[in-house]
A = this chain, B = another copy of it.
Amino acid sequence: MEYTVQKLGKLAGISARTLRYYDEIGILKPARISSSGYRIYGKKEVDLLQQILFYRELGVDLESIKKIVTSPSFDSVKSLREHHLKLLAKREQLDKLIRNVEKTIAMTEGRIEMSDKEKFEGFKQKLIEENEAKYGKEIREKYGEDVVEKNYAYFKNMSKEDYDRMTGLSEQILETLAEAMKTGDPAGPLGQKAADLHKQWISMCWGHYDKEAHANVAQMYVDDERFTAYYDDRVRPGAAVFLRDAIRIYTGK
């Protein structure tokens, strides 16, 4: 339960020098100093260090962290909750970056076109701040929205040929789906053909293919009424559920 600089450093994945520096700037003082002058840290310090590293991870500078953790009104639970929200926002931004990379790969291979502005999507801190403002009230509702937006986003900057191929595919999916529903069997050859066409379509949208994601999107078609309406209107009621079932079987998920 007692740690020297090196032991605590190893535990937390930071250097001994960093701990001495934190002592120096008064952000994390050891619990006591041994008779020979060694810094000795205890349980309380371990917890405080954890908090400090949480904030550091967020890119907060040490001066601000010091103010936060040494404040007399420092409410660690409240602070953790705020921290939690910020991490969620950060993950959202990271997801944007990931999508950007996927898009850039597709672009480099000539499948889609990207505007200069889009090329930097996901980098800007501003986006994080915008997210934070929204996050106060409703985190998850928005998160669900994003998944939907993701699907539309890829349409915007395609080359003309790809766009034509895609709309062709969409119609084929609808036709095959209509035929397949007459058999009533999502596992049958027509149902599986529909799922396969949908796979091709998804692959074009995303620049790659991934079973797990495919299965998730299929579930989304059932969960999100906008998608449900799209298929049910264009084919026949129950089409979204039928397509989901076919894709589930197709992906084996």
Contact of A143 among B50, B80, B124, B212 (CB under 8 A): B212
**What residues of B have a CB within 8 angstroms of the CB of A125 in the complex?**
13
Are B80 and A104 closer than 8 Å at their CB atoms?
yes
Shortest CB-to-CB span from A44 to chain B, Å, is 12
Are A123 and B77 closer than 8 Å at their CB atoms?
no
Q: Is A120 interfacial (CB 8 A cutoff)? A: yes
**What residues of B have a CB within 8 angstroms of the CB of A140 in the complex?**
210-213
Question: Secondary structure of the A side of the interface?
Answer: helix
Query: With A and B bound together, what is the CA distance between A83 and B76 in angstroms?
Result: 36
Instruction: Give the size range of A's interface with the partner.
Output: 35 or more
Knowing A13-B125, A57-B123, say if A98 contacts B108 (CB, 8 Å): no
**What residues of B have a CB within 8 angstroms of the CB of A187 in the complex?**
none
Are B88 and A98 closer than 8 Å at their CB atoms?
yes
Shortest CB-to-CB span from A158 to chain B, Å, is 18
Q: Is A33 interfacial (CB 8 A cutoff)? A: no
Interface residue ranges of A99-135 to B (CB < 8 Å): 101-102, 104-105, 108-109, 116-117, 119-120, 123-126
Query: With A and B bound together, what is the CA distance between A108 and B48 in angstroms?
Result: 12
Contact of A120 among B50, B77, B102 (CB under 8 A): B50
For residue A223, which residue of chain B has the nearest CB? B253
